[in-house]
């Protein structure tokens, strides 16, 4: 179809041209790199991003409203579906807040089981975040190795609670099933296996010059930006701020174990990458120590009332999930359903600084930067 001169001129008048013209590129909601339904409206000047506007809400499922319509026990499955990669830690927060409000004691063995399963969940979550990020950068192999390791963790979880992703394993006052020797031995074998794999990943990915050139110096997030946006988790610790809920607001029995909080001061994507890799190692240390000292005993408090009425009041509880500080706020009016459930999720805070930090970046760099924030979109939209 050949154009006449008038048609060609009319067409070029509409086209992208001139020195100061920008165009809008829509990244998502269906896009391989945004890991969920996140839409980012990029105003681009050539390959440079002038403004990145994240538009979330495509997977808003009204969990906070559901909290008002359900009893506390009925809300447990919802907690697994917020950040589905850190399901155990989110359920821990909900159980923690109700136990704190109703003054329910958790037996020792149950606390140990919770710590072991939460830390294994953290390892699985970091493996997915790492694998998916390297896949965004073009390396399609490490994600499959990560999923291979994750299979071992999920097989253990499936053995004890029957589910592989949305666990719903904790109950108020303990856990729903006891763990048996198969699980404990499997976890004991997993720790040295994972350490060996981490050595391989270090050689294959972390020290790879191509990856280093892609993420070193990219996506600087200053500590001041972190404070203004309320960033948390590895994003915060990669900018030099030593804040981990397990140390700052201790819960469960984390203060019995000897582990470090990895902090890096370079503020770039490589720092966040190394924080996550080191956190896997520290989680392995916690699991190892917990497995060595897990006591016998009941796995759930038998005196938890069937119909739980939370005393009237305003309660908060925070846990360190894979992506940062997950806090629940429960406002109760004394009836069996809460008056208000507020879920403060880490990914929304982490995403909100993307707009400021990505201004002026090249598109591939911005995507590498977004991968370093390790976003799970259902966590943003709840």
Q: Per CB under 8 A, does 75 bind other proteins? A: yes
Which of 9, 55, 162, 185 touches other proteins by CB under 8 A? 162
Q: Per CB under 8 A, does 333 bind other proteins? A: no
For residue 5, give both structure tokens: 């001169």
Q: Answer yes or no: are the C-beta atoms of 84 and 377 closer than 8 Å.
A: no
CA angle 85, 105, 161 (to 5 degrees): 35
d(C-alpha 248, C-alpha 80), whole Å? 24
For residue 73, give both structure tokens: 């026990």
Q: Per CB under 8 A, does 360 bind other proteins? A: no
Collapse the DSSP code of 359 into the 3-class scheme (helix H, G, I; strand E, B; otherwise coil) and give the result.
Answer: coil
| CA distances (Å), origin 198, targets 203, 249, 357 | 9, 29, 30
Q: Per CB under 8 A, does 217 bind other proteins? A: no
CB of 105 to other proteins, least distance (A): 20
Question: Between residues 257 and 339, which has the closer beta carbon with respect to other proteins?
Answer: 339
Site for other proteins in 86-145 (CB under 8 A): 134-141, 144-145
Map tokens 């917020």 to a residue: 82
Q: Per CB under 8 A, does 363 bind other proteins? A: yes
Q: Per CB under 8 A, does 367 bind other proteins? A: yes
Q: Provide the b/e sequence for 160-177 (b: ≥16 CB within 10 Å).
A: bbeeeeebbbbbbbbbeb
Question: Between residues 74 and 242, which has the closer beta carbon with respect to other proteins?
Answer: 74
Q: Answer yes or no: are the C-beta atoms of 276 and 126 closer than 8 Å.
A: yes
Stretch that binds other proteins, among 74-82, 228-236, 262-270, 285-293 (CB under 8 A): 74-82
d(C-alpha 318, C-alpha 332), whole Å? 17
Map tokens 């694998």 to a residue: 131
d(C-alpha 183, C-alpha 280), whole Å? 19
Question: Between residues 14 and 103, which has the closer beta carbon with respect to other proteins?
Answer: 14
- The mark string for 141-160 relative to other proteins (x by CB under 8 A, - otherwise) is x--xx--x---------xxx
Q: Per CB under 8 A, does 2 bind other proteins? A: yes
For residue 124, give both structure tokens: 């699985």
Question: Between residues 175 and 267, which has the closer beta carbon with respect to other proteins?
Answer: 175
Q: Per CB under 8 A, does 362 bind other proteins? A: yes
Phi and psi, residue 347, nearest 5°? -70, -30
Helix, strand and coil percent figures for the chain, each rounded to 5: 50, 15, 35
Which of 29, 77, 186, 230 touches other proteins by CB under 8 A? 77
CB of 216 to other proteins, least distance (A): 11
- The mark string for 36-55 relative to other proteins (x by CB under 8 A, - otherwise) is -----------x--------
Which of 28, 33, 219, 278 touches other proteins by CB under 8 A? 33
Which of 209, 296, 302, 303 touches other proteins by CB under 8 A? 209
Which of 43, 50, 177, 352 touches other proteins by CB under 8 A? 177
Which of 83, 365, 379, 381 touches other proteins by CB under 8 A? 365
Q: DSSP secondary structure string, 252-309?
A: TTGGGS-------SS-SHHHHHHHHHHHHHHHHHHHHHHHHHPPPS-SB-TT--SS--
Stretch that binds other proteins, among 25-33, 50-58, 219-227, 273-281 (CB under 8 A): 25-33
CB of 244 to other proteins, least distance (A): 29
CB of 228 to other proteins, least distance (A): 28
d(C-alpha 109, C-alpha 121), whole Å? 18
Map tokens 């970046």 to a residue: 361
CB of 41 to other proteins, least distance (A): 13
Where on the chain is the footprint of other proteins (CB under 8 A)? 1-2, 16, 23, 25, 31-33, 47, 70, 73-78, 81, 134-141, 144-145, 148, 158-163, 166, 168, 171, 176-177, 200, 203-205, 207-211, 213-214, 306, 362-365, 367
């Amino acid at each position: 179809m050949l154009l006449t001169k008038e048609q060609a001129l009319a067409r070029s008048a509409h086209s992208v041209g001139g020195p100061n013209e920008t165009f809008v590129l829509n990244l998502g909601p269906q896009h391989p790199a945004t890991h969920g339904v996140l839409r980012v409206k990029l105003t681009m000047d050539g390959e440079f991003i002038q403004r990145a506007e994240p538009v979330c809400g495509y997977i808003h499922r009204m969990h906070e409203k559901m909290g008002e319509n359900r009893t506390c026990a009925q809300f447990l499955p919802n907690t697994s579906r917020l950040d589905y990669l850190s399901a155990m830690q989110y359920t821990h927060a909900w159980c923690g807040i109700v136990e704190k409000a109703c003054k329910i004691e958790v037996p020792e063995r149950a606390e140990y089981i919770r710590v072991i399963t939460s830390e294994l969940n953290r390892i699985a979550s970091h493996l997915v975040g790492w694998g998916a990020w390297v896949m965004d950068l073009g390396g399609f192999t490490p994600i499959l190795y990560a999923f291979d390791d994750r299979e071992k963790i999920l097989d253990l979880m499936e053995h004890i609670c029957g589910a592989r992703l949305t666990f719903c394993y904790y109950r108020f006052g303990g856990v729903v099933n006891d763990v048996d020797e198969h699980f404990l031995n499997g976890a004991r074998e997993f720790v040295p296996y994972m350490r060996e794999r981490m050595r391989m990943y270090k050689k294959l990915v972390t020290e790879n010059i191509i990856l280093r050139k892609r993420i070193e110096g990219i996506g600087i997030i200053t500590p001041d930006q972190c404070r203004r946006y309320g960033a948390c988790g590895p994003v915060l610790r990669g900018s030099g701020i030593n804040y981990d809920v397990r140390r700052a607001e201790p819960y469960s029995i984390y203060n019995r174990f000897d582990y470090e909080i990895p902090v890096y001061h370079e503020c770039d994507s490589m720092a966040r990458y190394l924080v996550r890799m080191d956190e896997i190692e520290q989680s392995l240390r916690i699991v190892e120590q917990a497995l060595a000292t897990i006591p016998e005993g009941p796995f759930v408090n038998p005196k938890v009332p069937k119909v739980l009425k939370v005393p009237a009041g305003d309660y908060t509880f925070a846990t360190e999930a894979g992506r940062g500080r997950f806090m629940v706020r429960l406002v109760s009016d004394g009836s069996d359903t809460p008056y208000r459930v507020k879920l403060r999720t880490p990914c929304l805070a982490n995403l909100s600084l993307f707009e400021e930090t990505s201004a002026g970046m090249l598109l591939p760099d911005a995507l590498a930067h977004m991968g370093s924030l390790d976003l799970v979109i259902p966590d943003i939209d709840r």
